[in-house]
Amino acid sequence: MSSPATAAAPIPTHEFADALLAGIHRVVSSQESLNRINVFPVADGDTGTNLALTLLAARSALERHRSDTAGQLLERVADALLDGARGNSGAIMAQFFQGLADSLREKSALTVSALSSALTSGSDYARDALLEPREGTILSVIRVMAEATRDVLGDVSDLESLLSRSLDRCRAALAQTTEQLAELKKAGVVDAGAQGFVNLLEGMLAYTRDRQLPDFDALPVASEFLATDTAGDEVDLDYRFCTECIVTGENIDRRLLREELAALGGSLVLAGTHGKAKIHIHVNEPAELFRTAAKYGVVSGEKADDMHRQQSSTHAKRGAVAIITDSAADLSDDLLEALDVHSVPLRVHFADKGYLDKLSISADQFFTELASNPAHPQTSQPAPGDYRRQFQFLASHYNDVLALSLTASVSGTHTAAVSAAERITGADRLTVIDTLNASVGQGLIVRDAAERANSGEALAEIRKAVINNIERTRSFALLKDLTYAVRGGRVPSWARYIADVLQLNPVLGTTPDGHIKPISALVGRHNRVAKFARFVARRAQSGKRYRVAISHAQSAADAEALAERLNTLLDVTDAIDISETGAAIGVHGGPGTLVAALQERD
């Protein structure tokens, strides 16, 4: 028998850090299997991805701060996990580590006794983060781990023996989750979050035995996903968006914040401290969540994942290629839904107030704010984590992923997508293409790719069609005036003066190399829709057939009239899709903008 824990030597910080790294590697490498058994609380197939992304956020702290005390190291880890937490299980994991950090903060040495006590604190923290804790989840296994370490303290003296003596009870608790939740029992699986926690412990134990730190750069590529491998069934969702944000402030009233959040949705997890809180909640209106959070401090790290779309993809039995774009692509909601197109939102900022394009601010709300707010908005590319999270999820559920981005000549969105694609597991199955277009032009390219994917075409065929369509797609935007282009600094004020005096309607257009620039002006501001229709039609070739799409900025009647005229002037292949213009073009055009795109068809 080992000597009593009270006489044991402290666990070296670098050893504990390496063990955690090995555990994280085990979770990341098993994310595919975790996604497949993700049933509770929503069968959207992303628990493995969320846990992997959450835990990877701590990698830098574990590698760079090995000389710290264990308490200092875990403070850094907890803070990194709070910033990087994704999904329900990720937020719970972050709060668990916050409990470890708070318990060990004042400890000069990490002993098995101190670690056991910290595990109890972590378990309590994790439970307190949930409005309605449920047995049969990751919480159950965390609690059993804390209890097991207390029970064996007299017989262990090091990290290996502590983990080894506790792990069997954790595995038994994991197996029991199948019987504790009806959703798991029906699907015949254990809880995905609980399995991820056991994987973390198994990876840590393996390191303490062989002292072999696995290579993160050699993580296995995600295996081919089969929809038939997915556990659970599609269910009607009470809430559509898995929404998260961070609130930073002074003395955040967590009780009051929790009460307000509870009225907005379900699956609430409130992690963090009184100075920084991580919110995870399922809601139907992400904007309402962000407005509520802003009352308690500065909001950052906003994200909103469409669980309906994720669940559909998880159980899809359609094509093997996923299509994803950014919110600059204008397509009607009906088409986005029918074609199962995934989208990453651009960011929109009015002074110090930020929004997720088309998620936390609708197109109509954007133009209303644009007209009334003295601060001209700025648009920016999606946050790197937004792309990475989506890519990781889709690479886990499709054989190939094709991302079609806003033209790189006006935004860093394409570069952000490429950078994110290069950094994830399964990167060889991710293809990113610059559409050299925007708005409805980008939307038409995305639409054709999605139609081909849903009909079962292979990536090579779809990619060839995309390249062909890029060459055959042109977009044109009719601005009501130059007010917003001047406000944004794109056009000098004297140009607006001349346009107003001469009653000119500026027209922007895409060029073959992807630039968006003024290409013409229509004289006279009466009958501007008819003039614009003739202008667009003259850019078409006689004898050719075209697919047409239109978007508008608070000008639905004008968009309908434009569609009616283009139907008579052109040989249009199918119904003209009409959508609302997004912020990427709207920030320069303002209310009244009309956008039309032509795509030559075979």
pLDDT in tens, 141-199: 999 999 999 999 888 989 999 999 999 999 999 999 999 999 899 889 999 999 999 99
Q: If DSSP codes are grouped into helix, strand and coil, which group holds residue 86?
A: coil
**What is the pLDDT, as a whole number, of residue 585?**
87
Whether the per-residue pLDDT at 312 is higher than 50: the answer is yes
Q: pLDDT tens digit string along 102-127?
A: 999 888 789 999 999 999 999 999 99
- Retrieve residue 533's tokens: 């229709």
pTM listed for this prediction? 0.71
Q: Which pLDDT value is given to residue 546?
A: 96
pLDDT at site 450: 95
pLDDT tens digits along 494-506: 777 787 788 888 8
* pLDDT mean over 13-40: 91
Residue 397 identity (one-letter amino acid) = H
Strands (E), 502-580: 504-510, 516-523, 545-552, 577-580
Residue 514 pLDDT greater than 90, yes or no = yes
Convert the pLDDT of each residue in 71-87 to its tens digit.
899 999 998 998 888 88
How many other C-beta atoms are found inside a 10 Å radius of the C-beta of residue 168? 10
Dist. CA 348–CA 332, nearest whole Å: 20
Neighbours of 227 (CB within 10 A): 15
Alpha helices in 7-137 (DSSP H): 13-29, 31-36, 47-56, 59-64, 70-84, 87-104, 112-128
Is pLDDT larger for residue 3 or for residue 579? 579
pLDDT-based confidence at residue 316 (cuts at 50, 70, 90)? low
- Cα Rg of the chain, angstroms: 27
Q: Sign of dihedral through CA atoms 96, 97, 102, 103?
A: positive
- Asked if residue 523 has pLDDT above 80, the reply is yes
Query: pLDDT tens, 358-379?
Result: 888 889 999 999 989 988 998 8
pLDDT tens-digit map of 210-230: 999 888 876 644 333 333 344
pLDDT digits 0-9 by tens, 247-258: 999 989 988 998
Q: Tell me if 192 sits within 8 A of 37, measured CB to CB.
A: yes
Classify burial at 538, counting beta carbons within 10 Å of its beta carbon; exposed 0-12, middle 13-18, buried 19 or more.
exposed
Pairing of strands 545-552, 577-580: parallel
Q: What is the largest CA-CA distance in the chain?
A: 95
Q: Which residue has the higher pLDDT, 19 or 225?
A: 19
**pLDDT (mean) for 535-549:** 95
Contacting residues for 134 by C-beta, under 8 A, at least 6 apart: 181
Alpha-carbon span 373 to 19, nearest angstrom: 52
Compute the Cα dihedral for 529, 534, 536, 542 and give only its sign: positive
- For residue 526, which amino acid is it? H
**Position 100 pLDDT exceeds 80:** yes
Residue 348 has pLDDT above 80, yes or no: yes
pLDDT in tens, 427-458: 778 999 999 999 999 999 999 999 999 999 99
> What pLDDT score was predicted for residue 318?
47
- Above 90 in pLDDT, residue 27? yes
The mean pLDDT of the chain is 87
Predicted local distance difference test score (pLDDT) of residue 226? 35
Percent of the chain exceeding pLDDT 70 equals: 93
